[in-house]
Amino acid sequence: NPSAPRRSPAMPQPLRVNVPLNQGRDYDIRIGRGLLDEIGIEARDLGARAAGIVTDETVAGLYGERVQASLEAAGLRCGMITVPPGEASKSYAEFARVSDGLLSHKIERGDLVVALGGGVVGDLAGFAAASLRRGVRFVQAPTTLLAQVDSSVGGKTGINSPLGKNLIGAFHQPRLVLADTATLDTLSEREMRAGYAEVAKYGLIGDAEFFEWCETNWSGIFAGGPERDEAVAACCRAKAGVVVRDEREDGERALLNLGHTFGHALERLTGYDSARLVHGEGVAIGLALAFRFSARLGLCGGQDAGRVANHLALAGLPTRLQQVPGGVGDPDALLDAMAQDKKVRDGRLTFILAHGIGQSFIAPDIDRAEVRAFLEDELR
Ligand code: NAD
Ligand code: MG
């Protein structure tokens, strides 16, 4: 029928992923371009009368006004607390400043804390929300790829102690995650790539089909096409599933640490200096190492290890220890840095290894000497 209206390509609908936690704590993750402008309506629907926005200086300059305008247009009283950008803001000092800021803005039990920014802001604001008046509700508005696919979902909040990363914290689930994927347009290439390491990780952990999809569609994620929203949604679905089955990391949730035992060691050895290495770059090298180590132990095929490294490299990520600027020292330095990880028991190392792409598992009893020999070869 030639007179029938031609269907224009459908307007992309914002995607929605539910996190079905018990005891009335279930929440939605909404994913789509432009969602920041709906934060006011969402906050009003949650019954809040006031909102305390916590953000960093960079994100405040880019999106602060829009979020504030949306909340005020919905009739909420608004205050904003801004911290310096960077990991150093996950500190006792900034935690105190944010908490007192929220109190001075008269944020009460029925109100909302809004975490607007990357994982640093999400962890810090989430922890402030967990402690303020023994717990106020909070909304995650993640603005980095890493935060949209990982840190904003699952309820882990916290700050760093001088004695180590993420050592002070609480489980506190958000009431809503609003992932405006258009905010990633202003993210640096490097931060985008770093977040992409975590995207690929979900495929490698338990979804070979998703990894294959990534191999075909990764450039659309970077370019901000519909693939970006689809990828964020797929990752959130995967993370939500794990979190619902194992909220407190008694088991399966540890799989999310694929690539992280090596990755954390590299971050430690580079002094958490983001000029040298950001988390996602450490994870990318860690993912490649986890697969090569699995292959060496005869657990997975060498082609799979090659495929993982090739894909990460294609996306511009490092996959070898030699690519860490300034170097990482000798195998023993690396082993010592790994042994400081939370996942060490009685000198035996717990690794997340893989039987293949999408087939990761927890290997709780890996021999130190085996790891050492592997690292020696890797550093050769
Ligand atoms: P980040 O929050 O420091 O953000 C990275 C940089 O990007 C910052 O300089 C920030 O100002 C800037 N930025 C943020 N959004 C932007 C945008 N839209 N446009 C331009 N610039 C923007 O770092 P991150 O990688 O998002 O998060 C890392 C943190 O997340 C770490 O502290 C880590 O421990 C934590 N984390 C937590 C969990 C969890 O489950 N809670 C999981 C993974 C990581
Ligand atoms: Mg990570």
Give per-residue pLDDT as tens, 281-328: 999 999 999 999 999 999 999 999 999 999 999 999 999 999 999 999
- How far, in Å, CA of 374 to CA of 361, rounded? 19
The token duo for 242 is: 């794990």
**Tokens in use for 56?**
């960093």
Q: How far is CA 359 from CA 24, 337, 353, in A?
A: 33, 26, 8
Q: CB 362: neighbour CB atoms within 10 A?
A: 16
Give the chain's length.
Answer: 380
Using the atom order of ligand 1, give the atom closest to the CA of residue 156: 41
The predicted pLDDT at position 47 comes to 96
Identify the pLDDT of residue 348.
Answer: 78
Output the pLDDT for position 14: 72
Q: Which ipTM score applies to this complex? A: 0.99
Q: How far apart are CA 233 and CA 141, in angstroms?
A: 15
DSSP state of 118: S
pLDDT in tens, 47-65: 999 999 999 999 999 999 9
Cα 186–Cα 192–Cα 193 angle in degrees, nearest 5: 155
**Active-site residue list:** 134, 156, 198, 239, 249, 253, 257, 260, 264, 279
Those residues with Cβ within 8 angstroms of residue 153's Cβ, 6 or more apart along the chain or in another chain: 19, 29, 140, 177, 236, 239, 240, 243
Q: How far apart are CA 162 and CA 257, in angstroms?
A: 23
238-282 pLDDT, tens digit each: 999 999 999 998 889 999 999 999 999 999 999 999 999 999 999
In this prediction, residue 206 has a pLDDT band, given cuts at 50, 70 and 90, of very high
The closest-lying atom of ligand 1 relative to the alpha carbon of residue 195 is 25
Predicted confidence band of residue 339 (pLDDT cuts 50, 70, 90): confident
Residue in 123, 127, 153, 189 to alter for ligand 1 test, most ligand atoms within 8 A of Cβ: 123
